[in-house]
Each structure stands twice: as C-alpha cells, then as structure tokens.
Structure 1
C-alpha cells in the first residue's frame, strides 16, 4: 500500500462537507460540571456549512457550553471496517438565541428527519407551518459548531 495509511484515508475538505451534508445525526460532547465528558446524539442541519442543532435552553449541554464552550462533534457511518468513514470536529459550541436562526435550523432539522427537502435559506416558510414550528421551538436555542480542527477518515479509500 505504501505511504501513510492515515493520509490515504483522510477525506478532503470537500468530501467532509459532502459527508456532513448527507448525514443528520451527530454525537456531541461537552464538558460536564465535574470535568467529565457529557455525550449526546442530536439531529442536525448545516447552517452556513456548519453543524447546527436546536436544544432546550436549560439542557445540560447548554449549561456546559455557557460554562466552557469547548465542544467536539462526531459524525460517522458504515458497518464493516472497510466501509467506515467519519469526521471529528474539535472547537467551540456557539449558542444562538436569534428566533429567525432558530426557525431556520428547526425547519431544516425537521425536514431532514422527515426525509423532505430542506427549505432554502431566505425563502419564507408557509405561515401556518412556521407558527407551529416556532411554538415547538420556543424554549430552545441553536448550538452551532465552530470547528478549529477536523479529523476525518474514509476506509473505502484504502
């Protein structure tokens, strides 16, 4: 095989972007109150190319991020070793309370979970749908992953 296998299976930035766009579940790690990892799986959408999800304003992960914004995200896929691929994003979790951003991310996550097309940014949502969605998101905030470093792998390249 020759060369460094790690480099051979690394995804390009474009491959990582396509992989994140095609996936919708992310494992999110924050730092708990006693320094322990707090790990949860969330449904996400991309906001300007970055992983974003809604969560309850009073959730443990939001409390953790307010105390220490360090966050790690893992998106992975595959069952057999030769199919495994994934990306780990290291960085910070930015809490966004803007209702327009919350509505945009909530609509995108909901569409992806339902297998529907994601609403285009800037295009208005159906008023009745938007009103119902805003009611369901009222106690939520958006968390956006601001990555400093990305590590990726795609064993299909080996």
Structure 2
C-alpha cells in the first residue's frame, strides 16, 4: 500500500456507523495450530493501521505470537442490498510492553487517546496490566458494497 489510494477508499467506506462497528464488533480470523479461530476484539482505526487491544494471557495472543498473520472484517447492513464491508489482511506487530503497565510510550499516545475516547468516553487510557497492543497495517484491502449493484427489477 505504497500509495494512499487504498487507505482513502477504506476511510470513505468507514462511515460513523461502520467506524463504530470497527470499534466494537471487529471480527478476526487468527491462524492457530488448530486452524482459523474467529474472535471478537476491541479495535481502533487511526487512518493507516488497525489497532487491536488484546489480553496477553489469551489463546489469541499465543496464536499470534506463533503466527502473526491476521484477517479482519468490518461490515455493515442488515438486508442483502444494504451489505457493505471491508477485509484487511496482513501481519500484526506487537507494540509496547506486554502487558501494558500504562507508562508513557510515544508510539501509543495517539491510539490510546483515540481508543479511550471511543470505548470508555475518557481522555486517557485506563490500564489494567492484562492487555497490550497489536497493530495491523494492512497488506491487502478488499471491499464490497451491494448498495451499488443495479436493481434487478
């Protein structure tokens, strides 16, 4: 994604409603020893990367440590003709301490402000000593929008 084209397309797809989906209902397939493991996780999009906040003593964390490849789907709509979404895929990076104690970290300041505001309504991130950060800067982005399909009738 050397040019910003895909990021602009992704930003255009992320309406306030789908951005909320990205924050609350992000679905990921983590490749683990037993195959794909769909999971729910809290996430935040910063315009370039998807940040995932995960418990470090979880199966998800262990699986990603052994194989950091991930795919994330963000979708919106309830009726077939209204469905739209985006799939991000690539390799996650582990950022900061694990677990995150809450000490200042220059690479996490912006995302922690964004995440705290979206998920907790706070100005600063509450740290519990159990979570840490993963960053997905997508290698591939695939999107769909069934609202753009011609009406068959």
TM-score bracket, shorter-length normalisation:
0.7 to 0.9
Change in Cα spacing, 1:71 to 1:48, as seen in structure 2 (3 Å) is same
Offset from partner CA, 1:57-103 (integer Å, 9 cap, x none):
12211111110111000000000111100001121111112553456
**What is the TM-score of this pair, normalised by structure 2?**
0.72
| Alignment match, 2:140 | 149
| Alignment match, 1:8 | none
* Cα distance in 1, alignment partners of residues 112 and 31 from structure 2: 25
Partner SS state of residue 75, structure 2: strand
1:52 is the counterpart of 2:51: yes
Partner SS state of residue 49, structure 1: coil
| Alignment match, 2:75 | 76
Partner SS state of residue 92, structure 2: strand
Partners of 1:105 and 1:142 within 8 A in 2:
no
Change in Cα spacing, 1:21 to 1:63, as seen in structure 2 (3 Å) is farther
Partners of 2:48 and 2:137 within 8 A in 1:
no
| Alignment match, 2:130 | 139
Partner SS state of residue 79, structure 1: coil
Q: CA RMSD in A?
A: 2.4
**What is the TM-score of this pair, normalised by structure 1?**
0.70
Partner SS state of residue 78, structure 2: coil
Partners of 1:91 and 1:148 within 8 A in 2:
yes
Gaps of 5+ in 1: 1-11, 120-124
Partners of 2:11 and 2:47 within 8 A in 1:
no
Deviation at 1:146, TM superposition (A): 2.5
| Alignment match, 2:92 | 93
Gaps of 5+ in 2: 98-102
Report which of the two has the higher share of helix.
1
Name the larger-Rg structure.
Answer: 1
* Cα distance in 2, alignment partners of residues 65 and 20 from structure 1: 26
Q: Select the structure with the greater relative contact order (CA < 8 A; seq sep ≥ 6).
A: 1
